[in-house]
Amino acid sequence: MSIYDTLNEQQKKGVFTTDGPVLLLAGAGSGKTRVVVHRIAYLIEEMGVNPFNILAITFTNKAAGEMRSRVDKLIGFGSEQIWVSTFHSMCVKILRRFADKIGYDTNFVIYDTDDSKAIVKEIIKKLNIDTRYIKEKAIRGAISHAKDELIGVEQFEKDAAYDMNERKIAAAYREYQTTLKKNNAMDFDDLIYNTVKLFKEHPQVLLNYQERFLYIHVDEYQDTNTAQFELVRLLADKNKNLCVVGDDDQSIYKFRGANIRNILDFEKTYPNATVIKLEENYRSTQNILDAANAVIHNNVRRKDKSLWTRKDSGNQVHFRQFETGKEEAEFIVSDIKSKSRKGIIGYSGCAVLYRTNAQARLIEEACIMSGVPYQVVGGVNFYSRKEIKDLMAYLKTIDNGKDDLAVKRIINIPKRGIGATTILRAQEAADAENISFYDALKKARSIPSLAKSADKIERFTDLIEYFRHRLEEYTLVDLMDEIISKTGYVEELKNDGDDTALDRIGNIDELITKINTFTDENEEATLSDFLAEVALVTDLDETEDDVEKLMLMTLHAAKGLEFPHVYIAGMEDGIFPGMMSIVADERDELEEERRLCYVGMTRAMVDLTLCCAKCRMQRGELQYNAVSRFVKEIPMELLDNKPQVRRTRDFDDYGDDSGFASSFKPKAIARAKQTERMPVMAKEVKALNQISGLAKGSDMNLGELDYTVGDRVHHIKFGDGTVTKIDREPRDYKVTVDFDTAGTRIMYAIFSKLKKI
C-alpha cells in the first residue's frame, strides 16, 4: 500500500501537482501539513528531486519543528538536506554568507526588542523628541512597519515631508539605521528587508539561491506581509515551482502586518497558477461546519469554498442567552464542571474563547469560585496583568502605605524621574529609622541622601495624600477614575503606539466594572474590603501543574488549536464584532472580525456553544448590546435555541418617554431586585426606578446640564459629537447629538453621561 493511498482526492492532487505555481486553499482542519509533507516525499521518491533543492518555509519555530519532525519520519534518510525553516532563520543563513555585499560584516549582531528599545531611547534624547507627543513605541512601530512594507529611509523621508511629527519619526528612522550599521547590527525586521535588498542589488546571489531552491513551499501564506511576499516572489521567479498553502478565511493578523491580498491575488501574480481546494475537514462535525460556512460566506473578499466532513451531523450548535455577563460566565463554568463530573469530557478537552482579554475576568472568577482549575493560554491571569497590578498597587498604597512592594511598584509609574538609586537610598533610610518605605518618602526633605530628589518624591507623596484625604467623599469607582485621571495612566497607554494598548485599556475598564459590581453587592464596603476580596480571589487562583485545566484564551490565541468542546463568550454586537468595526462601517474591519469568528467556531470538534448577555457591565456602566450579527447569520435549524427578541432597547433608540418607560416591565425590575445572581442589575434598577417612577417620589429633580445646544461633547461609546437639541421632560433631559462617526443619536442624560469637551 502506497503512503499516498491514505490521502483524499484533493490532497492527492495537491501532492502530485508539482510543476508551476500552486495555491493550496486549505480550509480549517483539512490536513494541510500532511499534504505538504507528502508532497515533499513525492518530489524526492517519485520525481527524483534532490532533497538539497527543496525549501519549506513557515512562520514559527514550533511550526518549523513540527514540519521537520514529520518530514524526517516520512522520508528518513536524506531528509536532513531539506531546508525547513522560518522566514527569519532562512534570512540569517543567507546574510551570514553575503551580508558584506550590502555593507555589513558577515558576523553581524542581531538586536532583539530590548536592544531596539535602548537605541530608540538614546535617539529620542539626541534628537530632543518630546515623548508627550511622539512615544517611543510609536517610533519603533513606525520603523518596523516601514521595513515590513519595504520602505527605506529615503522614501520614508519623502512621504513624511508634509507632517511635522512624521518628519521627526523619519529623522529617528535614519538615526536608528545609522546606529545599527555603525554597530554592525540588524534587528528582526532588517533580516528580511536586507535579504530582499541583497537579492535585488546582487542578481548573481539571487540566482545562486534560485538554482538551489527548485521547489519552494510556504505555509500559512495568508499571514505573509509585503516584505515576505517579495522575498518569496524573488526566490521563485526563475523556476516558478512555488506551492503556497493557506486559507484566506483564517487571515486574522492584519494588526501584525499580514496582507490578505497576497493570497487573494495569487492568480494575478501567477496567471497560470493551479488552485486546489482542500475542503474535507477531519476535525469537526457537519453541523459545526455548516454553521461556520454560513457565517464566513457573508464575507465578500474571499475565495469560495465550503468545509464538509464524512463525520455525522453531530449536535446542533448550542446558543445560550443570559441576562448578564456574570450569568454567562457562571453557566459556562457550571456546564463544563458538570460534563467533567459526569465523565463526558475532562477540563483540558474544553476551551472558552473570547474576543478581548478583559472578558476573561468574569470567567476566571467563576472558575475560582467553582473550584475549576484553569489556564489562560497565551496570556496571564487577569489580576496578574501589568496594568491591573499597577492600579491595584495605587489602591493598596492609598489604603495602607506600609505595603513597600506596592509603593515601589508605582513610585515611577507613570514616569516621574525617580530612579533605582533614589529608591535604594529611600529604603536604606527606612531601614535605618525602622519605618516604612512610604514614610521615608514623606520625610524626603529631611533625609540628606534624598534631598536632590525631594521635589520629585513630594509630587508622588502629595498625590497619594490627596487621594487619602478625598477617600471619604469618593465611591470606589470615583477613586479609580480619579487615579486614572490624575496620573494620566490611560492617556499614556493611548499615546504609546503599542498594538496592545486597546486591550490593556479594556482590562482597566474591566477592573472598573469589577469595582462597580463589588460596591453594588456591598453598599457599605470600604477600600480595604475590596482589596481583601481581590486578595482572596488571587490567592485561590493556584492549581497544581499536573492537574487537568480548562483552557481560557482569546480567539487570536486559539488559531491552530482544536478542542472537543468549545465555548465562545460575548457573542454580542459591540463585543464581537467590536464596536470600532461597527461604528467605522469599514468592510475590511468587519470581514476580519468575521474571519476571527470562523476561526473560533472551527476550533470545535464535537460541541460548540455560543453565549451572549442581554446586558453587560463595561467600565462600570450597564450596556445593552444586540445578539451578534454573526449568530444571526447561522441558519436557525443549526441552532438548538433561537435568540430572544430583546424586550428593551438601547437608551438612544427611544423617541418618546412613554416608549422608554413601557419597555421596562415591573416583573423584570422586581426580579433584578430580588435575585442574588444578578448583582450588576442593581445600578440599572436605581436608574429605572428614577425614570419609570417606581421609586418614592415619582419625579426626579432635574439639575442643570453642563452643556447646551451647539456644544461639543464626548460619549464613551460613540465618541465626539455636537449637541443639536435638548428637550426637558418630566423625568429627564432628552438630548440629540450628531456624532462624528456614529451619526445622530437621541439619548437620555441620566444614561448617556455626556461630557463637554
Phi, psi of 437 (to 5 degrees): -60, -45
Are the CB atoms for 353 and 553 separated by under 8 Å? yes
Q: Which of 10, 11, 32, 228 is catalytic?
A: 32
301 is catalytic: no
Asked whether the bond before 414 is cis by omega within 30 degrees of 0, the reply is yes
33 is catalytic: yes
Query: Cα separation of 190 and 152, whole Å?
Result: 11
Phi, psi of 454 (to 5 degrees): -60, -40
Q: Which of 355, 603, 629, 745 is catalytic?
A: 603
146-153 contacts, C-beta under 8 A, 24 or more apart: 146/173, 147/189, 147/190, 147/192, 147/193, 147/227, 148/189, 148/225, 148/226, 148/227, 148/257, 149/225, 149/226, 149/227, 149/257, 150/193, 150/196, 150/226, 150/227, 150/230, 153/177
740 is catalytic: no
Where is 614: in which H helix or E strand?
none
Are the CB atoms for 14 and 547 separated by under 8 Å? no
Query: Cα separation of 247 and 278, whole Å?
Result: 10
Cell triple for residue 91?
A: 534570512
Sign of CA dihedral 94, 100, 106, 108: negative
316 is catalytic: no
Where is 589: in which H helix or E strand?
helix 587-601
Q: Which of 136, 148, 190, 219 is catalytic?
A: 219
Burial environment of residue 74 by CB neighbours within 10 A (0 to 12, 13 to 18, 19 or more):
middle
Cα distances (Å, whole numbers) of residue 674 to 393, 668, 679, 685: 35, 10, 9, 11
Burial environment of residue 688 by CB neighbours within 10 A (0 to 12, 13 to 18, 19 or more):
buried
250 is catalytic: yes
CA torsion, ordered 496, 502, 504, 510, to nearest 10 deg: 140
Angle at 291 between CA 287 and CA 296, to 5 degrees: 145
Q: Which of 177, 250, 397, 513 is catalytic?
A: 250
Are the CB atoms for 435 and 442 separated by under 8 Å? no
537: Cβ contacts below 8 Å, ≥ 6 apart: 365, 368, 383
Q: Which of 17, 18, 33, 500 is catalytic?
A: 33
220 is catalytic: yes
573: Cβ contacts below 8 Å, ≥ 6 apart: 582, 625, 626, 627, 628, 629
For every residue of 647-679, DSSP letters joined together read SS--GGG--SHHHHHHTS-HHHHHHHHH-TT-T
Sheet arrangement for strand 242-246: 83-86, 54-58, 215-218, 242-246, 22-26, 274-278
Are the CB atoms for 568 and 552 separated by under 8 Å? no
Cα distances (Å, whole numbers) of residue 265 to 23, 223, 252, 301, 672: 11, 14, 17, 11, 54
CA 452 to the chain's CA centroid: 42
Are the CB atoms for 552 and 375 separated by under 8 Å? yes
Query: Cα separation of 480 and 511, whole Å?
Result: 9
Q: Which of 148, 220, 390, 520 is catalytic?
A: 220
Query: With b meaning 16 or more CB within 10 Å and e meaning fewer, what string describes 473-482?
Result: eeebbebbbe
Give the helix ranges, DSSP H, for 202-324. Answer: 203-212, 226-236, 261-264, 266-269, 286-296
Packed helices 360-370 and 325-341: angle between N→C axes, nearest 10 degrees? 40
Q: In one letter, which amino acid is 547?
A: V
Query: With b meaning 16 or more CB within 10 Å and e meaning fewer, what string describes 547-572?
Result: eebbbbbbbbbbbeebbbbbbbbbbb
Query: Cα separation of 418 and 412, whole Å?
Result: 6
Are the CB atoms for 173 and 74 separated by under 8 Å? no
- Residues forming the active site: 32-33, 219-220, 250, 603
